[in-house]
Amino acid sequence: EQQVYTSGLHSNRPPFTFQTSEWEKLAKPVLSGSAWGYIHGNAGAGSTYTKNLASFSKYSIVPRRLVPSLKDAQGNELFSNASSTVLGEKLNFPIACAPVGVQKIFNSAGESAASRAAASIGVPYILSTASSTSIEDVAKASGEGGQRWYQLYWPAREHDDITISMLNRAKKAGYTALFVTLDTFVLGWRPSDMDNGYNPFLHADRIGVEIGFTDPIFRAKFKEEHGYDIDEDAKTHPIDTEGGSLSKAAQEWTKVVFPGHSKSWNDIKFLQEHWDGPIVLKGIQSVADAQKAVEAGVQGIVVSNHGGRQQDGGVPSLAVLPKIVDAVGEKIDVLFDSGVRCGADVIKAVALGAKCVLVGRPYIYGLALGGEEGVRHVLRALCGEIVMGMHLAGLRTLEDVDRDILVRDYDLF
Ligand code: FNR
């Protein structure tokens, strides 16, 4: 990403600004009211979201001086190296694209464009169960070299056959790690979506149900129960262009993936029996749950509050990160998300012990603004800022990025 910086200095203009704080503002007018409400909206009064963003400014980076730069084989000076190993895979940068559903509502190029952009710069892409493109099509788009992980909205145990089917599809299509989201067994209380009467999973164009509609087991079950095909369902139930779906199949799929709270820690075994790669539990916010994750034998957790979209009045995700790392960081990979908006935020989360940081809304704003190119721009900007931020602070590799480089604001004055 040294390249992005130098090319900028040689008067190449980006597709849109490098100022990370502007992306959200620029995206608003290009999105429909309901798509904007969906991405920007939060749980309840938005207090978890607000605290997520504010939490990063509670820490400041203390730079080191007279640290000689890294050099390549020819002796040329290099910027810092931000590569690491996460879940057994080598990453060029300590970030990944967070799973975000229904990406076609932000840009018709959707998940294919986003995953292609991620693959082109070596950032893993996590595909959501709520995506508007199938598991197989995203695999094709991200291609041979694309690192891809699969996020599971875990159906109720009565639908184990559908869960197994999704896991097998993901494995076959080259998704190497499984992220199981634990905080969204029902969708949160989201006033913006309720005001708009908007549920993207029941939307008339049915793009929120693509993974279910392409699932052979779900299709077969639907046919057995109703006596006709899912594709027939689309014809027999006219599309309501106001947004409320009349599709029985979409409603049934939504019930499968947002099934209420029917599982406990013992059920993790079932996933381990049917998935042979790393399993990561997303949505952990307490030390006690992190310890349960270790006991359950998973390989990682994501310290995440879903970007403040589920629990209102919740703790900012960054605040719980250090305690969780202290408790389990030696035993499993601790990943982090919620509120990351720029390269310095990533450095701070890594300094507090995160192995990898998931970026949510920012790359979706990039998708809205410029499709594949827009996502690439956002990811390159973030990677560039991470590397430059480390370089300026005298942090040559991620090993140097530890808690000693941070001060808490109450220590400052
Ligand atoms: C999400 N997130 C999410 N998480 C998940 O596990 N499965 C999903 O389908 C979705 N869908 C989704 C849609 C939209 C529009 C947003 C903004 C978020 C949560 C996501 O993975 C991540 O946890 C947060 O986005 C992180 O917070 P920031 O980076 O958006 O502040």
241-258 per-position pLDDT tens digit: 555 555 788 889 999 999
- Asked if the model's pLDDT at residue 345 lies above 80, the reply is yes
State the distance from the centre of ligand 1 to the C-alpha of 250, rounded, in angstroms.
21
Where are the chain's structural domains? 2-411
Q: How far is the CA of 408 from the centre of ligand 1 (A)?
A: 27
- Give me the mean pLDDT over the 298-313 stretch: 98
User: Where residue 192 falls among pLDDT bands split at 50, 70, 90?
Assistant: very high
Residue with tokens 């990979």: 333
Question: Nearest C-alpha to atom 31 of ligand 1 is from which residue?
Answer: 339
CB atoms within 10 A of CB 368: 25
Q: The CATH number of 2-411 is which of 1.10.1060.10, 3.40.50.2300, 3.40.50.300, 3.20.20.70?
A: 3.20.20.70
Q: Specify the ligand 1 atom closest to the Cα of 306.
A: 23
Active site residues: 306
Mean pLDDT value of segment 141-158:
96
| pLDDT for the residue numbered 245 | 52
pLDDT, mean of residues 73-79? 95
Average pLDDT for residues 357-361, to the nearest whole number? 98
Burial bucket for residue 53 (CB in 10 Å: 0-12, 13-18, 19+): middle
What is the C-alpha R_g of the chain? Answer: 21
- Over residues 28-39, the pLDDT tens digits come to 999 999 999 999
User: Are 230 and 223 within 8 A, CB to CB?
Assistant: yes
Q: Which atom of ligand 1 is nearest to the CA of 339?
A: 31
Mean pLDDT of the chain: 94
Residue nearest to atom 15 of ligand 1 (CA): 39
CA of 91 to the centre of ligand 1 (A): 21
- Å from CA of 228 to ligand 1 middle: 34
Residue 113 has pLDDT above 60, yes or no: yes
Of residues 247, 229, 218, the one with CA closest to residue 159: 218
Using CA positions, which residue lies closest to atom 23 of ligand 1? 306
Residue 322, CB-side half-sphere exposure with 13 Å CA sphere: 12
The DSSP secondary structure of 68-83, one letter per residue, reads PPEE-TT--EE--B--
Q: Give Dmax (Cα) for the chain.
A: 74
Q: What percent of the chain has pLDDT over 70?
A: 97
Q: Which atom of ligand 1 is nearest to the CA of 282?
A: 6
Q: Whose CA is nearest to atom 10 of ligand 1?
A: 100
Pocket test for ligand 1, best of 306, 335, 356, 378 (most atoms within 8 A of CB): 306
pLDDT band at residue 191, thresholds of 50, 70 and 90? Answer: very high
Q: Which residues, judged by CB distance below 6 Å to any ligand atom, belong to the binding site of ligand 1?
A: 38-39, 52, 98-101, 128, 130, 151, 181, 282, 304, 306-307, 309, 337-340, 358-361
The residue whose CA has the least distance to atom 18 of ligand 1 is 100
* Alpha-carbon dihedral 58, 43, 305, 282, rounded to 10 degrees: -160
Tokens of 83: 């590569």
pLDDT greater at residue 404 or residue 201: 404
Neighbours of 272 (CB within 10 A): 13
| Owner of token pair 């190029």 | 109
Q: Which of 62-66, 178-182, 205-209, 281-285 has the lowest mean pLDDT?
A: 205-209
Which one of 154, 309, 378 would you pick to mutate in the ligand 1 pocket, going by the greatest count of ligand atoms within 8 A of its CB?
309
Q: Is the model more confident about 7 or about 29?
A: 29
Protein residue closest via CA to atom 3 of ligand 1: 100
Centre of ligand 1 to C-alpha 360, Å, is: 5
For the CA of 283, the nearest atom of ligand 1: 23
CA distances from 124 to 44, 98, 146, 205, 258 (A): 31, 9, 7, 28, 25
pLDDT for res 240? 56
* pLDDT number for residue 290: 99
Which pair of tokens denotes residue 371? 């499709």
From the alpha carbon of 183, which atom of ligand 1 is closest? Answer: 6
Q: How far is the CA of 288 from the centre of ligand 1 (A)?
A: 23
Place of tokens 């908006």: 341
Region for 174 from its dihedrals, namely left if φ exceeds 0, alpha if ψ lies in -120 to 50, beta otherwise: left
Mean pLDDT of 61-83: 96
- Return the axis-axis angle of helices 361-392 and 110-120, rounded to nearest 10°: 10
Instruction: For residue 162, report the distance from its CA to the centre of ligand 1, in Å.
Output: 23
Q: CA–CA separation, 384 vs 381, rounded Å?
A: 5
**Exposure string for 10-28, b = 16+ CB within 10 A, e = fewer:** eeeeeebebebeebbebbe
Cα 188–Cα 164–Cα 230 angle in degrees, nearest 5: 75
Per-residue model confidence (pLDDT) at position 206: 77
Residue 211: the pLDDT is 96
DSSP 201: G
DSSP H or E run through 35: helix 33-40
The secondary element (H helix, E strand) that includes residue 283 is: strand 279-284
The complex scores an ipTM of: 1.00
* Index of the ligand 1 atom closest to the CA of residue 304: 23
Using 50, 70 and 90 to split pLDDT, how confident is the model at 232?
A: confident
Residue 310 Cα to ligand 1 middle (Å): 10
CB 401 within 8 A of CB 395: yes
Percentage, residues of the chain above pLDDT 90: 85
Whole-structure pTM value: 0.97
Chain CA centroid to CA 383, Å: 16
Of 24, 51, 100, 335, the residue with max ligand 1 atoms within 8 A of its CB, to mutate for a pocket test, comes to 100
